[in-house]
């Protein structure tokens, strides 16, 4: 039995350099004849002897159905293939081809850029290599895809454009559901069963929303009424369940901006959450269901625009799902980012901002989802918009280095704020902490709840940063110049 083999394939199989294989051939350790197309012809017995010598199971086995076969390539066992990259077996995975894995040069740039590389032997280069070799079970069983924040810093530096984040998302998707970190799994299940991640009952949410509206009317927005289920409102706005649960006043920053901009907007009484942990869990069925509920709300309330102000991942997951599964919806309504909408208000003169209210040296932390992930998936990363808005609210501004597409993750992305790997999250965040520290900024502005909490609570405490952290819309709300109610046409009461 003879079979044809490429030097590169054998080198991969035995984990050695291709020159080593050539040396084995040249010195007779591996008897082989040159064959067509830069391949070598090897006797099965010689190949088996080599496997025995290095303690490996033969990856190629003779076809028992053709015992007399000669001068032909042997059949591969069912588990292997000529292209072992096969992490695409889930029909519902976030699917782009993984072919580019084959192009990996093993240069290690990804490992050098990854803030968590080396922790528990996590190494993006190794992950790519294991995927290439078909070590899917080992990858799925590891904790690496959950300790990785899916930040994409590794991808930015990869000279071969290997889609490392896509690979890691796919490994998450292949994980048995009971192996998904419990908090993430619970968030998804609760959202599917009760309509929001924290299972807040409808009546409690509505009562709180109305109460917060009354408070806003008393303090700064006379006549304000929380608009719930307003049919024909222009803009449907989702809510992050962490806000009504833990800091309900944070909901009113957006409400104040809408009031000042005389926006026609509404919240839905059903399925008001925009958070979508299906993206984190690799559960694309859940992701699709949650987005479909939002689409149904837009249609039911006859809105023409949607804002998901919770977090970068909510925007990314929803926009991705709209483009992937519901493209016709994008013809029916517009999906805004927080940046698009605030800039629209500013550019149209619907809001005025007073930068003198923020005097601290201020910086902006780019979220991975609004930044490089949106750039890659949708063709536009929200870098400059964030700076324009921040500078409109603050007198003194400084950028972090590096930033924009090359920014470092805060350490809490990809569900890491919720998962059990707290020490790894802090370790990852040390790079962000150092960036902030050397910038001398005393106010950090961000567009994600997870980024805000990681920097405000975890990094401040662990690295003595002593910085204030605000949402972009909190910053804007605090800098608003409020016109008299008579000057504004309040359309939502
Ligand atoms: S940076 Fe790209 S080419 Fe280099 S080792 Fe990582 S995945 Fe491979
Ligand atoms: S943590 Fe970021 S840089 Fe590291 S492997 Fe994951 S996506 Fe790549």
Expressed in angstroms and rounded, the spacing between residue 415 Cα and the centre of ligand 1 is 24
**The model's pTM:** 0.80
User: Are residues 248 and 295 located together in one domain of the fold?
Assistant: yes
Asked whether residue 226 is domain-assigned, the answer is: yes
User: Are residues 161 and 248 located together in one domain of the fold?
Assistant: no
pLDDT at 380: 95
User: Are residues 248 and 342 located together in one domain of the fold?
Assistant: yes
User: Are residues 220 and 302 located together in one domain of the fold?
Assistant: yes
pLDDT at 45: 82
User: Are residues 337 and 362 located together in one domain of the fold?
Assistant: no
User: Are residues 415 and 321 located together in one domain of the fold?
Assistant: no
- Last-in-domain residue among 82, 110, 134: 82
List the CATH number of the domain containing 453. 3.40.50
Does ligand 1 come within 6 angstroms of the Cβ of 313? Answer: no
Q: How many domains does the chain have?
A: 4
pLDDT at 17: 59
User: Are residues 447 and 475 located together in one domain of the fold?
Assistant: yes
Expressed in angstroms and rounded, the spacing between residue 352 Cα and the centre of ligand 2 is 39
Asked whether residue 187 is domain-assigned, the answer is: no
Does ligand 2 come within 6 angstroms of the Cβ of 124? Answer: yes
Asked whether residue 474 is domain-assigned, the answer is: yes
Residue nearest to atom 1 of ligand 2 (CA): 148
Asked whether residue 107 is domain-assigned, the answer is: yes
- Last-in-domain residue among 347, 373, 389: 347
Closest ligand 2 atom to Cα of 113: 3
- Last-in-domain residue among 82, 117, 150: 82
Q: Which ligand number lies closest to the CA of residue 158?
A: 1
User: Are residues 305 and 266 located together in one domain of the fold?
Assistant: yes
Expressed in angstroms and rounded, the spacing between residue 375 Cα and the centre of ligand 2 is 17
Asked whether residue 486 is domain-assigned, the answer is: no
Asked whether residue 180 is domain-assigned, the answer is: no
Q: Cα 123 from chain centroid?
A: 18
Residue nearest to atom 6 of ligand 2 (CA): 148
Residue nearest to atom 3 of ligand 2 (CA): 114
Q: Which parts of the chain have pLDDT scores under 50?
A: 66-82, 89-94, 487, 490-493
User: Are residues 203 and 331 located together in one domain of the fold?
Assistant: yes
β-pair partners for 306? 236, 335
Asked whether residue 94 is domain-assigned, the answer is: no
CB 480 within 8 A of CB 353: yes
User: Are residues 336 and 370 located together in one domain of the fold?
Assistant: no
pLDDT at 21: 76
User: Are residues 124 and 157 located together in one domain of the fold?
Assistant: yes
Asked whether residue 442 is domain-assigned, the answer is: yes
User: Are residues 235 and 367 located together in one domain of the fold?
Assistant: no
List the CATH number of the domain containing 289. 1.20.1050
Domain that holds residue 228: 196-347
Expressed in angstroms and rounded, the spacing between residue 134 Cα and the centre of ligand 1 is 17
């Amino acid at each position: 039995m003879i079979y044809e083999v490429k030097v590169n394939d054998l080198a991969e199989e035995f984990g050695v350099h291709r020159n080593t294989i050539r040396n084995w051939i040249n010195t007779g350790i591996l008897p082989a004849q040159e064959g067509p197309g830069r391949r070598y012809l090897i006797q099965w017995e010689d190949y088996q002897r080599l496997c025995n010598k290095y303690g490996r199971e033969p990856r190629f086995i003779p076809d028992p159905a053709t015992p007399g076969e000669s001068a032909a390539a042997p059949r591969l066992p069912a588990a292997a293939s000529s292209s072992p990259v096969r992490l695409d077996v889930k029909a519902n995975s976030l699917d782009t081809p993984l072919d580019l894995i084959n192009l990996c040069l093993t240069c290690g740039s990804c490992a050098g850029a990854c803030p968590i590389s080396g922790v528990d032997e996590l190494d993006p280069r190794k992950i790519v290599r294991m995927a290439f070799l078909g070590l899917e079970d080992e990858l799925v069983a590891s904790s690496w895809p959950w300790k990785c924040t899916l930040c994409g810093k590794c991808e930015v530096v990869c000279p071969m454009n290997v889609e490392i984040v896509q690979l890691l998302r796919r490994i998450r998707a292949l994980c048995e559901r009971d192996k998904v970190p419990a908090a993430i799994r619970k968030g998804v299940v609760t959202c599917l069963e009760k309509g929001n991640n924290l299972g807040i009952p409808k009546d409690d949410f509505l009562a709180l929303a109305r109460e917060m509206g009354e408070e806003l009317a008393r303090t700064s927005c006379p006549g304000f009424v929380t608009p719930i289920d307003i049919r024909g409102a222009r803009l449907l706005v989702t809510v992050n369940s962490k806000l009504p649960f833990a800091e309900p006043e944070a909901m009113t920053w957006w409400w104040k901006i809408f009031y000042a901009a005389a926006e026609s907007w509404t919240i839905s009484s059903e399925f008001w959450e925009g958070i979508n942990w299906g993206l984190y869990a690799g559960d694309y069925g859940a992701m699709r269901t949650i987005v479909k509920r939002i689409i149904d709300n837009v249609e039911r309330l006859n809105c023409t625009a949607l804002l998901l102000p919770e977090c970068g991942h909510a925007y990314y997951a929803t926009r991705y799902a709209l483009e992937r599964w519901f493209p016709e919806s994008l013809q029916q309504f517009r999906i805004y980012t927080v940046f698009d909408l605030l800039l629209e208000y500013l550019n149209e003169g619907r809001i005025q901002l007073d930068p003198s209210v923020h005097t601290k040296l201020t910086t902006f932390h780019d979220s991975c989802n609004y930044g490089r992930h949106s750039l890659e998936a949708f063709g536009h990363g929200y870098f400059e918009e964030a700076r324009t808005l921040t500078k409109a609210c603050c007198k003194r501004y400084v950028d972090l280095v590096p930033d924009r597409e090359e920014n470092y993750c805060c350490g809490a992305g990809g569900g890491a704020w919720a998962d059990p790997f707290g020490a790894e999250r802090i370790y990852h965040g040390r790079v962000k902490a150092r960036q902030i520290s050397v910038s001398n900024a005393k106010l950090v502005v961000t567009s994600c709840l997870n980024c805000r909490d990681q920097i405000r609570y975890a990094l401040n405490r662990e690295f003595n940063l002593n910085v204030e952290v605000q949402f972009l819309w909190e910053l804007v709300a605090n800098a608003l110049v409020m016109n008299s109610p008579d000057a504004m046409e309040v359309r939502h009461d």
